Structure 1
């Protein structure tokens, strides 16, 4: 799951929990170098046929540009996917902070007693649209998560919010 409890709620005592959410990465950073090396090797295979001829120098800049473009696109994808959401849940305070890759951080705070967690099955921009409503605003939670992950997150968060309301 692309979210992790950094502080799990205790069964007794004041509820304090923290969860970090991030987008799923299908190509981990450790495999990035392997992918670029394999791409470069496959792109240079056709150059073996023209080795020693002037055609090599005509093709080489385009093949280098292709590998460089793939490198740039993947790095841009990593930067854009570096968004992180942190939800802090405590007695009397629920805080959501979104660290954006470009631009300022966004934050939202509310009293957990009044916060309503809603999983919009339909009517949202995506199926199983997850929102928190409180303090006069409705904010989206885990926009980058898959439908199943948003459902699982809602199932984990709802009991915590219910417990805070009961306390």
Structure 2
């Protein structure tokens, strides 16, 4: 799962949840994909070695390869989202850091935090929000439907535990 809970200890009662988008293409996989794409692009050129047609096709193949490289790098940058939810018996704090580095924060008394699940009404299926202090904020919208259902149950349990302490 692309999220993890920190362990709660008696000396430090805060619980921390870190969420991030799934990273399906690691750096080694990216390098291998670009190399294989390059090699596959050059296969048709072997029959054209020594002809003027080679120089006519080569720029277009290299532009296509550069486009694939740019698209994959852009996708990697756009997935650099991080959400950190900190739950203590007294307060709940959510920090959302977007791919561009902008940060948004939300604070609320843990007793008043409510978790809502919108199975069909949200922008994504099983949309999860936290509400309190007069605001409603989304959490984990980049997760899959099943992961959001699991997260919803875990958030309810953790908030219930925190208010009992």
TM range (shorter): over 0.9
Task: Give the 3-state SS of the residue equivalent to 1:113 in structure 2.
Answer: helix
Tell me how far 1:34 sits from its aligned partner.
0.2
Assess if the C-alpha contact under 8 Å between 2:87 and 2:162 holds in 1.
no
Q: TM-score, normalised by structure 1?
A: 0.93
Where does structure 1 lack aligned partners over 5 or more consecutive residues? Answer: none
Deviations 1:117-153 (A, max 9, x none): 1111221122111000011100000010001001111
Tell me how far 1:24 sits from its aligned partner.
0.9
Structure 1, 102-111 or 32-41: larger mean CA deviation = 102-111
Aligned to 1:9: 8
- Compute the RMSD of aligned alpha carbons: 1.4
Q: Distance in 2 between matches of 1:104 and 1:126?
A: 22
Task: Write the mapping of 1:58-97 to structure 2, written as runs, cut at 5 A.
Answer: 58-97=56-95
Task: Write the mapping of 1:144-163 to structure 2, written as runs, cut at 5 A.
Answer: 144-163=142-161
Task: Write the mapping of 1:9-88 to structure 2, written as runs, cut at 5 A.
Answer: 9-10=8-9, 15-88=13-86
Where does structure 2 lack aligned partners over 5 or more consecutive residues? Answer: none
Q: Distance in 2 between matches of 1:88 and 1:163?
A: 13
Task: Give the 3-state SS of the residue equivalent to 2:38 in structure 1.
Answer: helix
Assess if the C-alpha contact under 8 Å between 1:14 and 1:91 holds in 2.
no
Q: Distance in 2 between matches of 1:153 and 1:99?
A: 19
Tell me how far 1:101 sits from its aligned partner.
1.3
Structure 1, 145-154 or 95-104: larger mean CA deviation = 95-104
Q: Distance in 2 between matches of 1:44 and 1:14?
A: 58
Assess if the C-alpha contact under 8 Å between 2:108 and 2:133 holds in 1.
yes
